Structure 1
Amino acid sequence: MPITVWGLTLAQALLMSGNILLVSISALVGKELAAHPALMTLPIACQFIGVICATLPAAHLMQRLGRKTGFVVGNLIGLLGTWVSLQGLLLTSLSLFALGTFLIGIAIGVGQQYRFAALEACAQPLHARAISMVMAGGVLAAIIGPNLAILSQDWHSASPYAGAFYGLFGLYVLALCLIMMLPLPKPAVINAQAQIRSYGQLFAQPLLLAAVASGMIGYGIMVLIMTATPLAMNHDQHDFSATAYVIQWHVLGMFVPSFFTGALIRRFSTRRVILWGCGALLASVLVNLTGQGFWNYWWGLLLLGVGWNFTFIGATHLLTFSYQPAEKAKVQGINEFMVFSAAAVGSLFAGQGLVLLGWAWLNLFAIPWILLVAWLIWRLKEQPEEQRLAPGTKHQAKE
C-alpha cells in the first residue's frame, strides 16, 4: 500500500480524534449554555452544517487546485474554529460556541475527502482496502479522543471542558504538518470534451441511488442515536467517565471493523456487507429498547458503530462505480452534501427528539429508515458492481 495511504490514515486519525472529542463534550456544553432544552444539541448541529457547507466546494476546489491545497485550507479553518469555540465556552455564549463548531465542521467536511484522496494514490483493485485503511485511522482516534476529553478536564480552571479545545488545537496542528509533508497526487487533467451527466441522469442509476441512501441513512441514524446517548446517560445518572467510555467503544465499533471490511467486500460483495450493516443497526435499536443500564448503552452503541462502518464503507465503495472520471467531483461532492445533511438533521433532532419522544421512541423512529436502505440494496441483486452502471456507460470509474 502506498505511503500516501498510510499518511492519510494517520491524518484521518487526528481529524476523527477531534471529532470524537467534540461528540463527547458538545452536547454537555450545549446543555450548560442553552436557554431551552431543544437547543442543547445546536453546537453539534452547527458542526454538521459546517460539514455540509464544505462538501461541494471542497470537492470542486480539490479537482482544480489539488488535494494538498484543499486539506491545508481545511486544517487552518479548523484551527480558527477551535479558538472561536474556546472563546464561546469561556464567555458562556452558546452562539459563539456554535459558530466555532461550525468552522470546525468545515474542517471536518474537507477532511472527509481523505478517503477519496486515498483512492487516487493506488490502483483500482486496492480501492476497497484503501478506503478501509483510511477509515481504520479511527481506531487510534477512539483511544485519543475520549481520553483527551477526560484528561483535559483539569487543564483550565474556568471550565472542565475548556482544556479539551487546547488538545483539539494541538491535534489540528499535527494534522496540518502531516498533510504538508505527504506526496499527494496533483490535480488530474480532465478532458474538456468529456460529457458530464446531469444529476437526474446520474440518480437514474439504481446503484448510485442505493449508495447515496446507504451513506445518508447509515450516517444519519448513527449520529441521531450517538448524539442523544450522552444526554440520555446523563438523565439516567451515569457519570461523565461512563459516558466517555461508552463513546470510546462506540468509536471502536465504528473503526475496528475497517481492518477487515475491505476483505469482506472483496469476498462477499459490497451489497452483502451493507446488508449486514443494516442488520447491526437494527440490533443496536433492539438492545437500546431493552433498557437504559450501562451495558445497554455500551452494547447499543458498539453495534451502532459496526452498522455504520459496514454501511458507510460499503456505500463509499459502491459509489466509485457510478461515475466517469470527469464526473468525480460532481458525484463525490453531492454524495458528501447529502450524507452530511442527513447527519446534521440527525444531530439537530437528537436533543429535541429525546425531550419530546423519549429514548425508546427515538430508537423506534430509526427502524423504517434502516429497512429502506436494506430494500434499496437488496434490489440491486448479486452482480459485479461494474456490470450495474447506467445504460450506455461502458467505463469503470477510475481515480
Structure 2
Amino acid sequence: MTTVPAHTRRRLLGTLFLSSAFVRTGFIAAVTVAALVAEDLLGSVALSGMPAAAATIGVAVGTTPVAALMAARGRRIGIAGSLVLGVVGAAMAVVAIGVGSFPLFVLSLFVVGVGSSGDRLSRYAAADISTSDQRALAIAIVVWAGTIGSVVGPALLETVQWIAESLGMEGLAGAYMLAAAAVTLAVAVTFFFLRPDPLSFVADDPETRQTGTRRDAMRVLSDPRIQFAIIALAIGQVVMVIIMSMTPIHIRRAGDDLGTIGWIIAAHTFGMFALSPATGWVADRIGRPLVIVAGHVVLLIAALLAATASGSDTATLFIALFLLGVGWNFSFIAGSAYLSEAAPVEMRVSVEGLADTVVWTSGAAASLSSGLLFAVSGYAALCFIGAAMVALPAYMGFRNRRALVTA
C-alpha cells in the first residue's frame, strides 16, 4: 500500500464524512416515514414494512455492481454514480405519494436503496487510506457522519411536512423532497472533491491490485474471522431493522404525533452514529472481536427493554431505541474493520461487496417480515425475536474468542 500523506488523508476523510452526512440526512428522513406512508396508502399495517424492505433490497442489489464499478473505476465514480440513482428514487417517491400509488412508492424506495449502496461502501474507502492500527477509527469517522443525519433528518420532518403542504402536496412527501436535495449535494461533494481516489493508494501497488473475483471471494469465506464478521454484521442489522422499523407505528397507534416519533428515531440514529470515533478508537486498541460481542450484548438489552414498553411509554422507548443504535454501532464499526483487515488486500473490494450483499439482504428480509410479525404477534413479540437472534454472535464471539484474535 502506498503511504498516504497526512494532509491528503485528512482531506479525503473530510470529503467522505461530508458526503455521507448529506446522504444519511436524506435517507434517515425517508426511511423514518416509509412505514407511515405505506399505512396511509394501503390503510393497513401488514405490508407497512415493504417500502423499507425494498430500500434494503436495493442496497443489497446495488452493492455488488457498485463494488465492481469501484474495483474498475475507483471509489469516487462508484459512490457518485450510485448516488445519482438515489436522487432519482427520492423524486419518484414524491410522485408516488402524490398519485397515491403504493407499487410506485415501493419501487422508488428500491431505487433509493440502490443509490445509497455506494454510500454504504464508502466506509471502506476510509480503510483504504488508513494503516491497520487506525482502520477502525477511520471507518468510524465516516460512520460518524450519520450523527448529522440522525439529528437533522428526523428533526426536519415537521418543517418539510409544512413545506410540502404549503405547496399543495401530501405532507409526508416533504421527507423525500429533503432526501432528493441532500443526496444531490452528496453527489457534488463526492465527484468534485474525492481526489485522488482512495483506492488508488492500494491499486498503485502491483501486488495489491483488485484482481480477486467473486468466486475467489467466496473461497475466502472459509476464514473464521470473515465468517464471524459477516454474521455479526448481518444479525446486528436484522435486529436493529425489525425493531426500529415498527417503532413509529407502535407509537402512532398509542396516539402520539410525528414530532414524537421523529425525536425517538433521532435518539436511535444518534446512538447509531454519535459514539463512532470512540468506538473505533476502542476497537483499534482492545480488539475488534471484543467490541463486536459487546455490541450484541447491548442489542440484547435494548431489545428486552423495548419489549416492556407500551406505545405511550415514550421515555422507555427513547432509551431502548438509543441503546439499539449504540449496539448496532459497536457491531457495525468493529465488524467492518475486522472484515477489511481479514480480507486479502487484492480481493478486498470483492469481499466487502459480497459481505455487504449478505448484510443488506438480511436486513431486507427483516424489513419485509417486520410488518407481518407486528400485525400477527405485536411489538413485544417482535422485540423478543430480536433478543433471541442477537445471542448467536455474542455466543460465537465469546466461545471462539482466542481463535478469532489469533486466526
Deviations 1:302-355 (A, max 9, x none): 110000000111110110232212211221111000000111111111111111
Aligned residues: 387
Candidates 309, 314, 330, aligned match of 1:291 = 309
Q: Which residue of 2 aligns with 1:182?
A: 194
Residues 1:218 and 2:229 aligned together: no
Q: Which residue of 1 aligns with 2:176?
A: 165
Q: 1:93-108 alignment to 2 at 5 Å? A: 93-108=101-116
Q: Does 1:84 align with 2:92?
A: yes
Structure 1 segments, 4+ long, off by >3 Å, are 189-201, 382-385
Segments of 5+ residues of structure 1 without an aligned counterpart are: 389-399
CA offsets, 1:163-184, max 9 Å, x none? Answer: 2222211101110110022212
Corresponding residue for 1:271?
289
User: Which of 397, 400, 403 in structure 2 is aligned with 1:377?
Assistant: 397
Q: 1:228 to 1:193 in 2, by over 3 A?
A: closer
**In the alignment, does 2:141 pair up with 1:133?**
yes
Tell me if the contact between 1:59 and 1:329 (Cα under 8 Å) persists in the aligned partners: yes
Amino acid at match of 1:233: I
CA 1:218–1:351: 2 relative to 1, 3 Å: same
From 336, 345, 357, the equivalent of 2:377 is 357
Shift of 1:25: 0.8
Give the Cα–Cα distance (whole angstroms) in 2 for the partners of residues 351 and 13 of structure 1. 29
C-alpha distance after superposition, 1:337-396 (max 9, x if no partner): 0000111111111111111111111111112211111122123324784x41xxxxxxxx
Contact residue 297 and residue 391 of structure 2 kept, 8 A: no
Cα separation, 2, equivalents of 1:107 and 1:58 = 9
SS at match of 1:113: helix
Same amino acid, percent of matched pairs: 28
Deviation at 1:87, TM superposition (A): 0.6
Pairwise CA RMSD: 1.9
Q: What secondary structure, in the 3-state scheme, does the structure 1 residue paired with 2:367 have?
A: helix
User: TM-score, normalised on structure 2?
Assistant: 0.91
Secondary structure of 1:40's aligned partner: coil
Shift of 1:20: 0.9
Map 1:269-348 to 2 at 5 A. Answer: 269-292=287-310, 293-348=313-368
TM-score (norm 1): 0.92
Query: Could you tell me which amino acid in structure 1 is paired with residue 198 of structure 2?
Result: P
Aligned to 1:231: 249
Please give the alpha-carbon distance, in whole angstroms, between the structure 2 residues aligned to 1:139 and 1:38.
Answer: 31
Taking structure 1 as reference, are residues 31 and 328 closer, same or farther at Cα in structure 2, changes over 3 Å only?
same
- After TM superposition, the structure 1 stretch with the greater mean CA deviation from structure 2, 332-341 or 284-293, is 284-293
Give the distance between the partners of 1:338 and 1:103, measured in 2 at CA.
18
Cα distance change, pair 374–160 in 1 and its aligned pair in 2 (3 A): same
Cα offset, 1:3, TM superposition: 1.0
Find the aligned partners of 1:37 and 1:166 in 2 and give their Cα distance. Answer: 24
- Structure 1, 17-26 or 86-95: larger mean CA deviation: 17-26
> What is the CA distance between 1:124 and its match in structure 2?
2.7
Q: 1:19 to 1:124 in 2, by over 3 A?
A: same
Return the match for 2:269 from 236, 251, 274: 251
Shift of 1:2: 2.1
Distance 1:335 1:212 in 2: 6
> What is the CA-CA distance between 1:36 and the residue it aligns to?
4.4
CA 165–365 in structure 1, closer or farther in 2 if over 3 Å, else same = same
Q: Could you list the runs of 5+ residues in structure 2 that have no partner in the other structure?
A: 1-8
Cα distance in 2 for partners of 1:195, 1:31 equals: 44
Change in 2 beyond 3 A, CA 1:71/1:195 = closer
Question: 2:131 & 2:287 partners in 1: Cα distance?
Answer: 19
* Structure holding more helix per residue: 2
Alpha-carbon separation, structure 2, partners of 1:297 and 1:232:
10
Query: What SS is found at the alignment partner of 1:39?
Result: coil
Change in Cα spacing, 1:186 to 1:360, as seen in structure 2 (3 Å) is: closer
The whole-number CA distance in structure 2 between the counterparts of 1:210 and 1:52 is: 19
Choose 162-171 or 353-362, whichever is displaced more: 162-171
User: 2:161, 2:175 within 8 Å by CA — same for their partners in 1?
Assistant: yes
Once structures 1 and 2 are overlaid, which stretch shifts more, 79-88 or 267-276? 267-276
